[in-house]
Amino acid sequence: MKYKWLHLSDLHSYCNGINTKIMRDALINEIEVLHKKEPFSFLIITGDISDKNQGYGKAIEFINEIMNVADLSAESVFLVPGNHDLDRNIPDNREEIVKELWNKDILDKSEEDSIELLINSQNDFFQAYESLLNRSYPAEDLHFRENFDENLNIFHFNTSWMCYDSVLENGKLHIGLNKIYSCMEKVEKKPINIAIGHHSISELKEMVGSKLKFLFKYNDIDLYLSGHTHDSLVVYDTSIDTEFCTCRQVRAEDDNYPAGFIIGNIDTEEDQSHFVFYNWDNKLTKWTYDYTVEPAKHGVYYLKGNKFNNIKRKNNDIIVDLKLMGPALDCNIIKEKFKLKGAKEYRLGHKNIRPKKVEEWNKYLEDLSHFYDSIINNEKSGSKIHIFPMAPIPLLVSMGYLMQNGSPNIRIYQYNENKHTWVYNKNDDNILINEKYSEKGNDILAVSLSISAHVKIEDINAVLGEKYDLLNIYIDNPHLSYLNYKADVLRVKSKLKEKLDSINYKYKEIHLFLASPAGLSIEIGRIIRENMYPDTYIYNYFRKNNPSYSRIYNLMEVRNMS
């Protein structure tokens, strides 16, 4: 079974700040890209469609736009009301009724009467629901199940029917347990069962939440998806074998609560079921992976439920997607070609990056450092890590520096641009590597590496002057797509490492000017020993600039910059 869905929450559609407008335009584009990469099966929206029940017209327009770019029919959209999707003046004595209910542990006999008194406050939402999806919200049932296909149930929980004051009601809400029981009692159990609601379990009355968890266990609920907190969180409850996941909001005016969304994936065939968390970066004005979600490794969280972990893997292969330029890495092709079926996938959440300002370089390095810490540095020693890189050279060298030259379980692949394919250890082209060391007694060493192109002396002089020694590692007739295979890369690395290890003590500074393929750039970073080498600076080349090289990072400070 395979499903891919988009989870949004807390649209608050009548919030019109410029940051939100820009974010939502970018969200539509991001959804379209993600859909083209792999189509969505359905869309889930967990409440607060409106903002303070001010109307639903803009929300309907926005959701229709999402449905259009994701090629989803109304039958594939599932949504529930939030605490903003009701009129808090209905009935007139709503406050009195609600506060009385807060004091009860279980509603039981008074449940039906309480719901009947309060449910009409959501009539505007129910009308918008029918207008958008061409089907009625069964308000009289309160909670209901929709049958997605023969393998998947989606349970809709109305957690907001008794809301009144979101500041005071946390931990006091009732959900209507009798209605939940009736909803589940009539349902044919299926292999996968997803429940959606606006509030998390912790926001209900403690006794209500406890009994709801029992119903989840008894009725085989695999996932409970919610919103309301404007933050992302994922927790696996081992006692009931259920994953609980909350989604960020779709507003971008508060930097303390950034906008976000979640991509859900179920793949029981390869045990690749996971959530991918995204958040909106107001500074970079782009969508990135959300590495603030604690249990997720740089935004990716693999489901822990028993249904999603049936395969006993012989190894722990991990694919690290560092392809930050051009089309996205096709992990299906990678898995097939390099026999990595069942490998977990992690990707740094940026694409087609062209940093120019210092702030942009620092932001990308910060994210790269978090990525390294959460994915590579945090993995068990037995994991085999397969890195597929294509990014600006300063970031690649920095990644290598963070890794150092330790783990033998890391494989760095090369992209052969001439053949448009990734390679690793296919053969050895036996390319001759030349070395020229000019020692003039200076305390600054420039290292030029001419593999993909010539590093010109005049370009180095433009930033360093002429008082430096030069170590030049080069091949004859350098050009793109040279050094595609492991043996050639390691030959360059070995020659440079051997020389730098023997002469670095002579210098107070080393300056790296590299024209090298991505995999080699990472390997160069790995040989710069953090406890042995002097300050080592990496430069970025941009031909149209004057000078063409600009200093980006001191590698000895990289760990502290994150």
The β-bridge relationship of strands 344-347 and 317-323 is parallel
For residues 221 and 195, give the distance between their C-alpha atoms in angstroms, rounded to a whole number. 7
Tell me, what's the pLDDT at 411?
92
For residue 341, give both structure tokens.
Answer: 């079926």
Query: Token match 């609601």: residue?
Result: 197
Report the distance separating Cα 131 and Cα 63, nearest Å.
Answer: 12
Q: In the β-sheet with 535-541, what is the strand arrangement from edge to edge?
A: 434-438, 469-474, 444-450, 509-515, 535-541, 549-554
Residues of the chain with pLDDT under 70: 311-315, 380-381, 426, 562
Indicate the domain borders of the chain: 2-260, 317-423, 434-556
pLDDT tens by residue, 197-243: 999 999 999 999 999 999 999 999 999 999 999 999 999 999 999 99
Both tokens assigned to 557: 């400070």
- Single-letter residue type at 145: R
Same fold, 317-423 and 434-556: yes
| pLDDT on residue 259 | 96
CB 543 within 8 A of CB 474: no
Residue type, 421: T
Quick: pLDDT tens for 244-276.
999 999 999 888 889 999 999 999 877 789 999
From the CA atom positions of the chain, what is the Rg in Å?
28
Domain at 317-423, CATH from 3.10.450, 2.40.10, 3.40.50, 3.90.550: 3.40.50
| Of 258, 410, 242, residue with least CA distance to 319 | 410
Among all chains, which residue has been given the structure tokens 């609980």?
244
CA distances from 302 to 234, 246, 277, 432 (A): 10, 15, 11, 45
Assign domain 434-556 to its CATH architecture.
3-Layer(aba) Sandwich (3.40)
**Under CATH, which number does the domain 2-260 receive?**
3.60.21.10
Please provide the size of the chain in residues.
Answer: 562
Residue with tokens 């053949």: 419
Helical residues (DSSP H) of 150-241, grouped into ranges: 177-185, 206-218
**Spatial separation of the C-alpha atoms in residues 274 and 297, rounded to whole Å:** 11
Residue 101 contacts by C-beta under 8 Å, 6 or more apart in sequence?
107, 114, 162, 174
pLDDT attached to residue 381: 61
Structure tokens at 211: 């009994």
pLDDT at site 314: 52
Token digits of residue 284: 């970079």
Q: Which amino acid is at 394?
A: P
**What is the model's pLDDT at position 380?**
63
